[in-house]
Homo-oligomer: A and B are copies of this chain.
Amino acid sequence: MPNRTVFFVSDGTGITAETFGNSILAQFSTKHRHVRRPFIDTPEKARQILEEINTTVATEGQRPIVFITLIDEEARRLVHDNANALVLDMFQSFVEPLESELGIKSNHRVGRFSDVAKSQEYHDRIEAINFSLAHDDGQSARNLDSADVILVGVSRSGKTPTSLYLAMQHGVKAANYPLIPEDFERDCLPSMLEPYKRKCFGLTIDADRLSQIRNERRPGSKYAALSNCRYEINEAERLMKRAGISWLSSTHKSIEEIATTILRDIRPDRLIY
């Protein structure tokens, strides 16, 4: 039974619920149509969504799947009790067992992001983004001592998106520094990295994949040639090995997976807080 419509109905952005819901739906090989309905924070708005859901049943001939994260009890009940759908109540399913475990009532606070813009953690994330931008691609050697991590690797190995992700999601000040042909000729790491070897982390990549990525930018160039990619990767791995820098391959990993591995290796404290 493929092609259901899946609603994500949230009083906040719905991003968290949607991402988590999608990882559950990925357990099924069916294709769905996804509809995110954020900021549903009043019973009136809930009523509109309810109508949209029930109209879907009529037009599609199948009932939709509805993930809800609604704190407002009236809005929640409206959708939960009246939708002609499989309603999966993502909050309620866990809030009730937690209430009885902790022996306290939940406070029905709407959204994980309420007032977040004023918090220290949020401030640190914004600062980290600014830092990572200013230290992208070896742009600046200033304040490298305040970096949490310095990513190194050949051009297009994934340093920039990983640095930005580390900053944005984890508040980690991530600089990144390219290893370039001049470094391989001199046969040593860029001198400005020497004092910071302990916080360097390397990214490498399969030569085939690198060549493919570089060819999208500069088709047919020496830069993108498979032989040159092989050479650069070999040299980079040799330099990193000699300097005692650990590295991982980004070939089959998403930036989320790369970032988590780096945190675990370089800043395991960031996994405990």
Contacts and interface: CB of A to CB of B under 8 A. Distances in A.
A12 interface: yes
Interface in A97-134: 97-98, 101-104, 106-109, 111-113, 115-118, 122, 125-126, 129-130, 133
A28 B95 CA distance: 9
A160 B133 CA distance: 10
Interface in A56-115: 65, 69, 71, 86, 88, 90-91, 93-95, 97-98, 101-104, 106-109, 111-113, 115
A260 B20 CA distance: 17
Nearest to A12: B257
A134 to B, nearest CB: 11
B126 A24 contact: no
Contacts of A13: 256-257, 259-260
Interface stretch (A29-37, A190-198, A233-241): A29-37
Contacts of A273: 33-34
Interface string A230-273: 00000000000000000000111111110111001000000111
A10 to B, nearest CB: 9
Contact of A95 (B27, B109, B250, B251): B27
A184 interface: no
A184 B19 CA distance: 41
